[in-house]
Structure formats: structure tokens, C-alpha cells
């Protein structure tokens, strides 16, 4: 059972950091020793977050020619007998790399509650904030060789991934305009002035430690400042910038915030960053759903397909899980405004790499409108099942109990993983 993770008052730390021109939040080392890279590359997770509720019917699960299909056409893919939306022609050539789940189910149909549930695998509750899957991965799989944040959000605005009961220091490091220079990482004064200030902080820290040794140990203020300054001078920061990428590569991903975010995500994985979320906003299409998804797919399709290609070409796909998911799907019915409304009962997600099965389709959804109160697809997969499966693929014990700061024991995963989503090696390891 894990030890209690102690949080600390960050006010004094942030004040001292501000004196050096630093404005950021960095995660401290956990009680577990940071792992060195082994011969087998440690797993990373890239989550492509389709913010607002992506329609399964205009993307991964079209029902062309039916009363729920709308105007979208289906196209063939490079996987026999599998068709997806005409809006995703480049991904149609990558479906042999993808585990496609068409029967994902959620318990929440509200944006805030749905996003919280899908990001964490647990329903929102007033007494405990759960960590996102990315925060959990960064916390459980630390790497001392990585000098930049291990949990990163690119292009998001709201519902960003949180550290929850692990501590706010495990919140995602947020970059709102990926591919540009990251703000607040350069001191506003000269190097001489920075050294003078840090020397002063060292003196204050020594005096503080001399009089309050226990408090100094708990706050970790000197460690936080040390790592912040190390990050500011790290060559790994260049992963956030795209100056050394070719024009052809940038064009392949697409000249959009999401496209740049996916390219930065690949660069961060190369540096060993554990968890990255790339956000594509605008899927809350209660009005004009068809055209809305056509436009958004124009950003998603080239970026997702190129990301898979580059990860494969750089021998990174087997060690990187790429998950494309949303907080819920959209209704089979088309409303009078030509839109689709919130629908958590069945929707789709795509998972590639990291030991997941390739070229398979899980579940079915009906081609007719189902009038049941809580309709279910064939072969439903829950969010907790999916996330426990991802944890297992990454080498995290989903069944491990963690004692929260208020003394509450909680398991990382709410339900058991599903072996048939994984390749033979990982599936067999579940029974060991």
C-alpha cells in the first residue's frame, strides 16, 4: 500500500520563485525513486482530447443510409470490412494500427461531469478530486533524466487534467498555443541579478532550515526552486518549439493549433515525457453538426494520421499509447437545428500503439433509434475498464491502493482491465 502523499503550502515557494522571474508549477519527486531508462523504453501516453463531445456518427462509427446516419458518407479503410467517416480519409489508411472501440459507455452527460469522469475514470464527487490518467502515469512512472514537466496539456482551455488527490503539483503543465515559445521560462533580469537573488534565497533557506528543520523538509521549497532553475536552462525545452522542424513536417500535421500540438507531443515523447494531452475544441455541435464535424475533422485527420506515422517511423509507437477520446458522444437523433445533443450511452474512441491490439473493432451500435431509458450497445466497454487496461499496458498496477491526504484508501483503477484489447504478451501478463 502506498504511503500518504503529503501536500504543502506553496505560497512561500511561489513568492521566492517570483523573485527570480519564475512563474510555473513543477511536480516534486515522489517517495518512489525516479527510474532510470531501461533497455525497454518506458511507456508514454498521448491523449487527443476532443473537447465538447465528438459525434461517433460523423467520425468512427458512421451509419450511412440509415435514419440516424445523417448526411455523412462512409469510406473504406485499409482494414477489411471496416468503414469510417468520409471526413477522415487519412486515418482510413491507418486503421490497421488502431484498436477501435465503438461501444464505449459513460455515466455522465454533462460537460463538466462527463469530462471529469472520462479524464479520471471516476465520477465527480464533492469529497475527493481524482487525478487524471495522465497525472497518475506521471506520478507512478517518474524519470529523473527528464528535466521538463512529465504531465503536459497542449491547446486546452477548460477541464484541464488535474493532479487530484496526488497533489496540485501533478496538474498538467499548460501550454495554450503549442509550437510557440513557452512563456514565463526566462528570467526578466540579467544572469548576474538572478544569481544574486538565488544566493539570497539560499541564505534565507538556510536560516529557515536551521530554525524549522521539519517544516523545511515538508515544504520542499529549495528543491522546487532548484528544479525550476534547472528546467529554465534545459536543452529539453526545445521540444516545445518547432523551429527545427521542416516545412513539410509542419504541413503534414496541419497549420492549426491542434496540428502543432500533435507535433509538439511527438517531440515531448522523444524527450521521455510521460503524459501529454492535445486538445481540439468545438465539438459541442447542437447546431449544424454535420458542417461542424467536417471542419474539425479537417484538423484532426492529418494531425492524428501524421502522428501515428512519425511515431512508427521513429520506433516510438510500440512505447506510446495514443488515445483519441471525448467526454461523451452525440445523439442518434438529429435535432431541428441540424445538430446532435449529448449522448453518453454509447460512443467511440480510437487507441493505437503501446501494446494495444491492431486493426480490431470492439462493439456495435444499432442503426435505428433506441427508445430505452439507458440504451446499451453490443459488447459495452466502460471508461474504468479502458483506463485500467491502459494502466496495465503502461506498467502501472491498476489495483494498487493509495492513501489520500485525508486518509481514504482508493484504488487507481475502478474496474479490471480487458485482456482482449491488448497484444498477446500484455494479455498473458495479466494472469501472472
Supply the mean pLDDT for the chain. 87
Give me Rg for the CA atoms of the chain.
22
All structural domains of the chain with their residue ranges = 1-31+189-235, 43-180+241-429
Count CA atoms closer than 13 A to 394's CA, side-chain side. Answer: 27
Q: Per CATH, which fold does 43-180+241-429 belong to?
A: Alkaline Phosphatase, subunit A (3.40.720)
The confidence score (pLDDT) of residue 198 equals: 72
Residue closest to 148 by CA, chosen among 10, 324, 18, 270: 270
Q: Is the dihedral of CA 208, 209, 215, 219 positive or negative?
A: positive
pLDDT in tens, 316-351: 999 999 999 999 999 999 999 999 999 999 999 999
pLDDT in tens, 84-133: 999 999 999 999 999 999 999 999 999 999 999 999 999 999 999 999 99
DSSP per-residue letters across 326-380:
ES-EE-SSPPTTB---EE-SSEEEEEESTTB-SSEEE-B--SS---SSS---BS-
- Is-contact 330 342, C-beta < 8 A? yes
Confidence tier at 224 by pLDDT (50, 70, 90) = low
- Is-contact 134 414, C-beta < 8 A? no
- Residues 259, 303: Cα–Cα separation, whole Å: 5
**What is the rounded average pLDDT of the residues 47-72?**
97
pLDDT in tens, 64-95: 999 999 999 999 999 999 999 999 999 999 99
**What is the rounded average pLDDT of the residues 407-423?**
96
- Residues 397, 136: Cα–Cα separation, whole Å: 11
- Residues 67, 355: Cα–Cα separation, whole Å: 37
Amino acid at each position: 500500500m502506498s504511503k500518504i502523499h503529503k501536500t504543502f503550502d506553496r505560497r512561500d515557494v511561489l513568492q521566492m520563485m517570483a523573485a527570480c522571474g519564475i512563474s510555473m508549477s513543477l511536480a516534486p519527486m515522489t517517495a518512489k525513486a525516479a527510474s532510470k531508462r531501461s533497455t525497454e523504453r518506458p511507456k508514454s501516453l498521448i491523449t487527443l482530447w476532443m473537447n465538447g463531445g465528438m459525434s461517433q456518427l460523423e467520425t468512427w462509427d458512421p451509419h450511412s443510409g440509415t435514419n440516424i446516419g445523417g448526411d455523412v458518407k462512409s469510406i473504406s479503410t485499409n482494414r477489411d470490412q471496416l468503414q469510417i467517416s468520409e471526413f477522415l480519409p487519412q486515418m482510413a489508411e491507418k486503421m490497421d494500427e488502431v484498436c477501435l472501440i465503438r461501444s464505449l459507455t459513460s455515466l455522465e452527460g454533462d460537460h463538466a461531469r462527463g469530462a471529469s469522469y472520462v479524464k479520471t475514470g471516476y465520477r465527480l464527487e464533492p469529497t475527493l478530486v481524482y487525478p487524471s490518467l495522465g497525472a497518475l502515469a506521471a506520478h507512478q512512472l517518474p524519470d529523473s533524466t527528464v528535466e521538463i514537466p512529465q504531465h503536459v496539456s497542449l491547446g486546452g482551455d477548460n477541464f484541464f487534467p488535474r493532479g487530484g488527490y496526488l497533489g496540485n503539483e501533478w496538474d498538467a503543465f499548460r501550454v495554450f498555443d503549442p509550437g510557440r515559445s513557452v512563456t514565463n521560462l526566462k528570467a526578466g533580469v540579467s544572469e548576474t541579478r538572478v544569481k544574486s537573488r538565488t544566493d539570497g534565497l539560499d541564505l534565507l533557506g538556510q536560516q529557515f532550515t536551521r530554525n524549522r528543520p521539519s517544516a523545511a523538509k515538508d515544504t520542499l521549497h529549495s528543491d522546487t526552486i532548484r528544479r525550476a532553475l534547472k528546467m529554465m536552462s534545459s536543452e529539453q525545452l526545445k521540444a516545445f518549439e518547432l523551429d527545427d522542424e521542416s516545412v513539410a513536417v509542419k504541413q503534414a500535421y496541419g497549420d492549426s493549433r491542434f496540428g502543432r500540438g500533435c507535433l509538439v507531443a511527438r517531440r515531448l515523447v522523444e524527450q521521455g515525457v510521460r503524459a501529454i494531452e492535445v486538445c481540439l475544441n468545438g465539438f459541442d455541435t447542437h447546431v449544424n453538426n454535420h458542417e461542424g464535424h467536417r471542419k474539425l475533422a479537417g484538423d484532426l485527420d492529418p494531425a492524428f494520421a501524421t502522428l501515428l506515422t512519425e511515431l512508427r517511423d521513429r520506433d516510438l509507437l510500440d512505447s506510446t499509447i495514443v488515445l483519441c477520446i471525448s467526454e461523451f458522444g452525440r445523439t442518434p437523433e438529429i435535432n431541428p437545428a441540424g445538430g446532435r445533443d449529448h449522448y453518453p450511452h454509447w460512443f467511440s474512441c480510437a487507441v493505437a500503439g503501446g501494446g494495444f491490439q491492431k486493426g480490431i473493432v470492439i462493439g456495435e451500435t444499432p442503426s435505428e433509434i433506441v427508445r430505452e431509458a439507458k440504451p446499451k450497445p453490443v459488447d459495452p466497454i466502460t471508461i474504468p475498464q479502458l483506463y485500467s487496461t491502459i494502466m496495465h499496458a503502461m506498467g502501472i498496477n491498476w489495483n494498487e491502493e493509495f492513501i489520500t491526504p485525508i486518509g481514504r484508501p482508493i484504488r487507481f483503477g475502478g474496474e479490471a482491465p480487458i485482456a482482449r484489447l491488448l497484444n498477446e504478451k500484455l494479455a498473458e501478463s495479466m494472469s501472472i
